[in-house]
Amino acid sequence: MRLINQSIMPKILLYITAKVIWNFLFWNTDYHENRAHVHVGKRSTEHLCKIWLVPIVELDKQGDLTDAQVKEVLAIATQYREKLLHQWSLFKQGKAIRIIKVKKKK
Residue 44 has what pLDDT? 77
The answer to whether the pTM exceeds 0.85 is yes
Residue 33 has what pLDDT? 84
Residue 8 has what pLDDT? 55
Q: Strand 21-25's sheet: what is its strand order?
A: 58-61, 49-52, 37-41, 21-25, 11-16, 100-103
Residue 32 has what pLDDT? 81
Q: Is 15 helix (H, G, I), strand (E, B) or coil?
A: strand
Give mean pLDDT in consecutive 10-residue pieces for the chain, a chain of 106 residues.
Answer: 49 94 90 90 89 98 96 98 96 90 86
Instruction: Assess contact for 29 and 46: CB atoms under 8 A.
Output: no
- Burial (CB count <10 Å: 0-12, 13-18, 19+), residue 2: exposed
Residue 106 has what pLDDT? 64
The alpha carbons of the chain give a radius of gyration, in whole angstroms, of: 13
How many degrees, rounded to 5, is the angle at CA 94 between CA 31 and CA 1? 105
Chain centre to alpha carbon of residue 86: 12
